[in-house]
Amino acid sequence: MRARPSEVVLTSGGTESDNLAVIGTYRARRRADDRRRRVLVSSIEHHAVLDATEALAAHEGAEAVLLPVDRTGRLDVAALEAEIARDPASVALVSVMWANNEVGTLQPVDDVVRLAHAHGVPVHTDAVQAVGQVPVDFAASGVDLLTVTAHKLGGPVGVGALVAVRGAELEPLVHGGGQERGVRSGTLDAASARAFAVAAEPGRRVAARPRRPGARAARPAAGRRPGGGARGGAWWARRSTPRCGCPAT
């Protein structure tokens, strides 16, 4: 992935990495400048991003802006541009996933970085479903923060990483002994980290287990969050399926 070892913050997986990226960045950026309250996320993010954003809106004065996508699930770049242009100084961060977990659409991460960085806004991308499937080059992408998890690569569950550029503005969510650059304290699970590293070696990705003959394909639960267009409202309040019903694990 072309990340330096010092850029890798080991976590318990994609969910924690997404939470650290969204909440940790919001808190750090808002602390530095109280105007930075808007969190711009695509409307098709994984719930680890959407619900972290929800929590910030519900409890910490954030304004959640859901960016629309087209019928293929691809981000509306013009909408992102307009949202940033509306008031660049109020944007805490932009989070747009690299590849969608339900339909696989690859997002225009280059455009996101270009538009956000023009105003000094950091970019997070959830690359859980991309790493191991498509080339992911952290350094070349220009993103500030990238989420990856081991179990999508054939590694164990319960370990992942937030890859963060050295200067990333991040407030820790877990306090303690100062491990992992001080943003994720706790004694590391070395065995899981090693297994993650082995799984992440180029060419090591374990192929998905074939389905049992005759098994029915998994279908997305009905009533999942809307595919796009909603913004800033309480989309989570309308969600009718349980969170644990995530179809794309």
Ligand X SMILES: Cc1ncc(COP(=O)(O)O)c(C=O)c1O
Candidate list 7, 10, 14, 131; residue touching ligand X; CB under 6 A: 14
Least separation in angstroms between residue 197's CB and ligand X is: 16
Among 41, 36, 40, residue whose Cα is nearest residue 60: 36
- Residue closer to ligand X (CB basis): 15 or 43: 15
Report 17-36 residues binding ligand X (CB under 6 A): 18
- Residue closer to ligand X (CB basis): 167 or 244: 244
Report 208-237 residues binding ligand X (CB under 6 A): none
- Count, in order, helices (H) and strands (E) of the chain: 7, 7
Quickly list DSSP for 12-81. SSHHHHHHIIIIIHHHHHHHH-TT--EEEEETT--HHHHHHHHHHHHHS--EEEEEPB-TTS-B-HHHHH
Report 109-138 residues binding ligand X (CB under 6 A): 126, 128-129
Does residue 149 bind ligand X (CB under 6 A)?
A: yes
Phi, psi values for residue 128, rounded to 5°: -55, -40
Candidate list 9, 15, 80, 183; residue touching ligand X; CB under 6 A: 15
Considering only 8-16, 71-79, 113-121, 226-234, which stretch makes contact with ligand X by CB under 6 A? 8-16
Token pair of 115, please?
A: 């538009």
Least separation in angstroms between residue 161's CB and ligand X is: 10
* The pairing of beta strand 160-164 with beta strand 38-42: unpaired
- Residue closer to ligand X (CB basis): 7 or 51: 51
Task: Please give the angle made by the CA atoms of 105, 108 and 110, to the nearest 5 degrees.
Answer: 150
Report 47-106 residues binding ligand X (CB under 6 A): 48, 97, 101
Least separation in angstroms between residue 118's CB and ligand X is: 26
Q: Count the residues of the shown chain that bind ligand X, applying the rule CB under 6 A.
A: 16
Report 155-194 residues binding ligand X (CB under 6 A): 160
Radius of gyration of the CA atoms of the chain, in A: 17
Least separation in angstroms between residue 158's CB and ligand X is: 8
Considering only 12-20, 104-112, 134-142, 171-179, which stretch makes contact with ligand X by CB under 6 A? 12-20
Quickly list DSSP for 84-137. HHH-GGGEEEEE--SB-TTT-PBP-HHHHHHHHHTTT--EEEE-TTTBTTB---
**Largest Cα span, the chain:** 57
Residues that bind ligand X (CB under 6 A): 13-15, 18, 46, 48, 97, 101, 126, 128-129, 149, 151, 160, 248-249
